[in-house]
Structure formats: structure tokens, C-alpha cells
Amino acid sequence: MTARIIDGKATAAAQRERVAAEVAELADAGVVPGLAAVLVGDDPASAVYVAGKERDCEAVGIRSLGARLPADVDQATLHAEIDRLNADPDVSGIIVQLPLPAHLDPVAAQERVDPAKDVDGLHPVNAGRLLRGDPFLVPATPLGCQVLLTTYGVTVAGASVVIVGRSQLVGRPLAMLLSLKGAGANATVTVCHTGTRDLASHTRTADIVVAATGVPHTVTADMVKPGATVLDVGINRRDDGTLFGDVDFAEVSQVAGAITPVPGGVGPMTRAMLLHNTLLAARSQRA
């Protein structure tokens, strides 16, 4: 069997088109959504990520309102800047680009963001709402995974989903999201991690396997049920700079029914869903 490729690039483009149309409608009603990316210091990789997010925003009509702070800024000044953005009505969404310089506390900074503007979905209020079954701003990567599944008609309701990885950013919120009672969810979810005994015995039972470990070859062909859907969240870099995921794509794509490539799978969806969240935040602030 050769798996159907779940094309994250094309799906993200469609999502951006939808967001652009909805942003235009909101702008006609007098509200232009704005995203503020707080970038501290001059880490080149972070600067590239933020520049990419700003380009994405501009392409869909979201204003990007960058906030740059020097590498030696103290926590109180960082918080004051976040407070200023929290109070600015032109700012619908705020992201604090990580990593922060080592002397700063990233969790305290993220918790300083107004939950209504927390488009990364990492504030305890948004994490709590998801846990409670009343999601508002959900982290972009899990949301992107869910949109890929629904776009490709993968049955999630009643499915057995095994997520490998339990991070606050990906594994945990995805488990919450897919086990909600509602459309595109209602799955039976198992979360695996380094404490899991016999990982393959879990993944082999799954209709949907999600790999989010940052470890190459976490999921190999013998670990996948024939016909299962496999989402690869991982981003690993070869010496030549090219990217690859946590799944042994060449082998697993011979067994799986559908699979995301890396690059071009979950990654572009993460970027698109940040735009979706900014739109959602702007709309809810207007209401």
C-alpha cells in the first residue's frame, strides 16, 4: 500500500484564503485584527520565525505590530511591554517568541499575556478552558492537526488515536482537543511518552498515530496498523539543513493509509492556525 499524502501546504493555503476573506469582512465592519510578536534579543532563528509570522499576517490583511526588546531587558520591563500590548485596542493577539534569553522566565511572560489575546493558547486560562471542554484559543499545532484530519475526511469520532509526546505545546492539548465531545473529535485518545512501556503495542492499535517527540524514527513501519493515518509533527534537521520528521516516512508510507510529509505537513498548518487564532481573538474582543 502507498499512503495518500496529506498536503499541509495546500490545506494551509486554503485556510489562509478563508482567514483573509473573514479578515476583510471584519475590516469592513471597522476592525482590523493585529498581531504583536514580542521578540527579545537578536537570536537569528527567532528573528526568522517572527519575520515569517509577520509576512503571513500581512498576506491575509492582519496588521503586524512587532515589539522588539534588547537582549538584556529585565523581566519587569518585559512585563510592562506585555501590559502595554494587553491594553492596546489595535492589538488582537500577542505572542512571546521563545526562547527568551536565559535570565528571563518564559512561563511568567506567557502568563502575563491577557488570555483574550493569547493566540498561542498557552495561558493557563486557555489551557484550562480546553481541559474543561470549553475551548477558546487552542495552540496552533494541535488545531492544525485537527483541521488536516477533517479536511482529508479522516474519521476521528470513535477512532483510536495514539499521540506520542505529552508536551504542553503539542501532545497534551491535542489529546484534549481530539477527545472533546463534538465535531472533528470524540476520539479515544492514548498519550505515550518516554515512560510508556512497549510503545509499539500502543501505536499498532491506533487508527490515527501522531508523532510529536523531536526524535527521528520514533515511529517505524512495524509500529503502524495497515491503513492507519499518521501525522508527523516532528521537525529534525539534517547536516545539510534539510528537514525531516519523527516518522520513518519512506517505510511508514508503505503501510499507512494517509500520512503527512515533513516538510509540507503539519508545519504550514501551525502558521496558518496562528492567523486563525488572531482572527478569532479580534472577533471576540469586538463582541
Among 34, 234, 257, 261, binds ligand NDP (CB under 6 A): 234
User: What are the E-state strand segments in the chain?
Assistant: 4-5, 34-40, 63-64, 67-69, 93-96, 160-164, 188-192, 208-211, 229-232, 236-237, 243-244, 258-259
Q: Which of 107, 136, 105 is nearest to 119 (CA)?
A: 136
Q: How is residue 219 annotated by DSSP? A: B
Q: Does 135 bind ligand NDP (CB under 6 A)?
A: no
Distance (Å, whole) CA 86 – CA 3: 45
Among 2, 194, 205, 242, binds ligand NDP (CB under 6 A): 194
Active-site residue among 7, 15, 56, 97?
A: 97
Task: Please list every residue from 147 through 166 that binds ligand NDP, using CB under 6 A.
Answer: 164-166
- How many residues interact with ligand NDP (rule CB under 6 A)? 25
Among 20, 98, 125, 215, binds ligand NDP (CB under 6 A): 215
Q: Does 193 bind ligand NDP (CB under 6 A)?
A: yes
What is the four-CA torsion angle of 266, 267, 269, 271, rounded to 10 degrees?
A: 160
**Shortest distance, CB of residue 218 to ligand NDP, whole angstroms?**
5
DSSP 67-130: EEE-TT--HHHHHHHHHHHHH-TT--EEEE-SPPPTTS-HHHHHHHS-GGGBTT--SHHHHHHH
**Shortest distance, CB of residue 228 to ligand NDP, whole angstroms?**
17
- Beta bridge mates, 230: 209, 259
| H-type alpha helices, 197-245 | 199-203
**Shortest distance, CB of residue 164 to ligand NDP, whole angstroms?**
5
Any catalytic annotation for residue 83? Answer: no
Q: Does 201 bind ligand NDP (CB under 6 A)?
A: no
Any catalytic annotation for residue 168? Answer: no
Among 214, 221, 243, 285, binds ligand NDP (CB under 6 A): 214
Q: Does 212 bind ligand NDP (CB under 6 A)?
A: yes
Q: Does 270 bind ligand NDP (CB under 6 A)?
A: yes
Distance (Å, whole) CA 284 – CA 287: 5
Any catalytic annotation for residue 75? Answer: no
Q: Does 242 bind ligand NDP (CB under 6 A)?
A: no
Tell me how far the alpha carbon of residue 3 is from its chain's centroid.
Answer: 24
Q: Does 95 bind ligand NDP (CB under 6 A)?
A: no
Q: Which residues are catalytic?
A: 53, 97, 120
Interface residue list for ligand NDP (CB under 6 A): 141, 164-167, 169-171, 192-196, 199, 212-215, 218, 233-235, 266-267, 270
